[in-house]
Amino acid sequence: MELFDLIVIGGGPGGYLCAERAAQGGMKTALFEARSLGGTCLNEGCVPTKTLLNSAKLYRHATESAAFGVTAEKVTLDHAKVVERKDKVVKTLVSGVKGTMKSCKVTVIDKAAAIEGRVEGGFAVKAGEEMYTAKRLVVASGSETVVPPVAGLKEGIASGFVVTNREVLDRKELPRELVVIGGGVIGLEMACYFASVGVHVTVIEMMPKIAGPTDPAICKVLMDEYGRRGMEFKLSCKVLEVTKNSVLYEEAGEKKEVKCDLVLLSAGRRPFTQGLGLEKLGLEMDRAAIVTDKHLCTNVAGVYAVGDCNGKLMLAHTAYREAEVAVNHMLGVKDEMRYNVIPSVIYTDPEVASVGETADSARAKGLEVKEVELPMLYSGRYVAENENGKGFIKLVVDTRKNCLIGCHMVGSYASEIIMTAAMMVDTELPPQRLKKLVFPHPTVGEIIREAMFKI
């Protein structure tokens, strides 16, 4: 048996960056990934969806350009070519990860790994017929799609009438009528793509609003915009059954049906931790999630869990940071996770981005806060590039500590701008100091400065 300093199970963002950082820190590292390096994010999540969404944005710009003095005729979108380009982008980035692992001298084993238990000097992991041992172990097994107990759902998945985010990204033909079960981030992004390229989309969500904890006013902007494009939202509705060509749901006590030729299941994700042998180590679990502390340590010394499998905050960039914190802890470098400063984004069109507390969540924690809201129309560049844009920004300030604790926005470039606000939340600098920062003009990002002067 070959002895490693570290074994990482799972080659997604948390896993491959953990392996990279550990190897750079002088640790002999092995990375196990049964499918493809990059995990869900790179192969069937973050990157491929953004590739599709960029094509949809280009298509919308072409078809709605008359207001900007540009006339485009006979604009078409070739969905098969969009998917082909997506595959090329994914292949390029997966190759990049492979190259990085090679340059860092990480041993990559393309087999499923299962923990066998403790051995002298560490832990044993089996892959195929081979056994491997390491002084430390990182579980980075990711997450899986939740399949709720709805009649006909499993049969629909088996027939191909129901797809998850994995399968929908590989379809070469557009459906005419699409039903999306679930109005969370993944469901909204895919609904955004299909609605933008001419598919009639119906989103069925059991909660009274879309996008989970996102600010209700932001959700309204999204619903208004996509309602304009023909998307329908069925909120506070429970899916009852999936038939061979429709979805049955309950709305206000009444049973209804919507016909379609494809269903996208997007009812959430849960940590993937089954079949890994975790029980052989006695790891503390919170249902399917591995319990970790601020250093990503589990209750078993030498075992860490990063990324979706710990259920903390299922975002690729969270996994990246968790990987760094975990490796730093192994190397004796002082570091810890601060989940309250991690930004989140919904890559719809317009984009949604946020970081930190909302006014309501802050008050629920007993904080005294002031909230400032400002339309994106205060940004000259936003007005120049958006016709009748409804975007806005909200800042949340802790009046006792005199610092920014939250920022929420909807509008163009929000995904790129939010990092500025995240740094402000992270550094806890007072607004008086932040007002001295100089933003380039004209930029949409100036909206943060404009809002800061309203505090």
Of 61, 295, 329, 441, catalytic: 441
3-state helix/strand/coil string of the chain? CEEEEEEEECCCHHHHHHHHHHHHCCCCEEEECCCCCCHHHHHHCHHHHHHHHHHHHHHHHHHCCHHHCCCCCCCCCCHHHHHHHHHHHHHHHHHHHHHHHHHCCCEEECCCCEEEEEECCEEEEEECCEEEEEEEEEECCCEEECCCCCECHHHHHHHCCEECHHHHCCCCCCCCEEEEECCCHHHHHHHHHHHHCCCEEEEECCCCCCCCCCCHHHHHHHHHHHHHCCCEEECCEEEEEECCCEEEEEECCEEEEEECCEEEECCCEEECCCCCCHHHCCCCEECCEECCCCCCECCCCCEEECHHHHCCCCCHHHHHHHHHHHHHHHHCCCCCCCHHHCCEEECCCCEEEEEECCHHHHHHCCCCEEEEEEEHHHCHHHHHHCCCCCCEEEEEEECCCCEEEEEEEEECCHHHHHHHHHHHHHHCCCHHHHCCCCCCCCCCCHHHHHHHCCC
> What's the rounded Cα separation, in Å, for the pair 423 and 428?
8
Q: Is 441 a catalytic residue?
A: yes
Phi-psi region of 302 (alpha: psi -120 to 50; beta: other; left: phi over 0): left
Q: Give catalytic residues, as residue numbers.
A: 441
